[in-house]
Amino acid sequence: MKNTTLKQQLKDKKNTVGSWITIPHQSVIDILAEAGFDWLTIDLEHTSIDYNELQILIGFIQARGMAALVRVSKNEEVVIKRALDAGADGIIVPMVCSMIEAKQAVEFAKYPPVGKRGVGLNRAQRYGYAFEDYKEWVSKHLVVIAQIEHIDGVKNIEDIISTDGIDGIIIGPYDLSGSLGIPGQYNEPIVQEALKKVEETCNEKAFSMGYHVIDPKIELVKDKQDAGYNFIAFSTDFLFMGRNASDEMKKLKQYL
């Protein structure tokens, strides 16, 4: 069942917490569902997940009552169309740096007359049995998130959040720091200064603002929520598993 609440939560700037799927297996989704996430994002940009796996994963996520988002590989028509036709509740579009690119993402996601998405019949449209229902759902509930992960996107943040059809933004801290010449050093003052500009602009406009908190530490999520971020991607599947295993093994080895 497709999600009909996330768009409204973004509009109302309600706190939601999701995570990042990189391992294409039902068990991963089931485990994270039991943890209580509101949504999960399937990453098509930095993983080997293919479109067949994508459609299966979307179904598993939705069956567990969570919104299924897809971080597409790029801001491109066919890439976005295929992710949405597979049934995603929304998309996260990487490297949005201007109003033009934000408008492009919306156009690729929405049907005419709002956008220019091509019409096809797949899982999203129930293979032709419910195109009219799906078309209405798209107009009311489809979520489009612009990922701000370059200093140019920061400079143009006001234009981006003013774009009709953009429901929220999410910071990608690694690439943002990379665009400033210090990849991975996202706690450095120059990166924090860029974040402050985004925070001040979005908070002033009461616009939904997201952040991908990489380290699986609850205090980092709390810090971002205190700064006004309400759309938090909390770590990734492999970090939850890897960090916990590593931490517990370090403790265990003290007794071996």
CA distances 171 to 38, 154, 156, 157, 194, Å, are 18, 10, 14, 11, 11
Token pair 């179904």 in the structure block, residue = 59
Q: Rounded to 5 degrees, what are φ and ψ at 16?
A: -135, 155
Residue tagged active-site, from 46, 141, 150, 212: 46
Token pair in block for residue 171: 């910071």
User: Is 46 one of the catalytic residues?
Assistant: yes
- Measured distance CA(256)–CA(252) in Å, rounded: 7
Q: Which amino acid is at 54?
A: L
Three-class secondary structure of residue 213 per DSSP = strand
Q: Which of 189, 232, 236 is nearest to 214 (CA)?
A: 236
Contact 85, 72 (CB under 8 A): no
Task: Name the residues annotated as catalytic.
Answer: 46
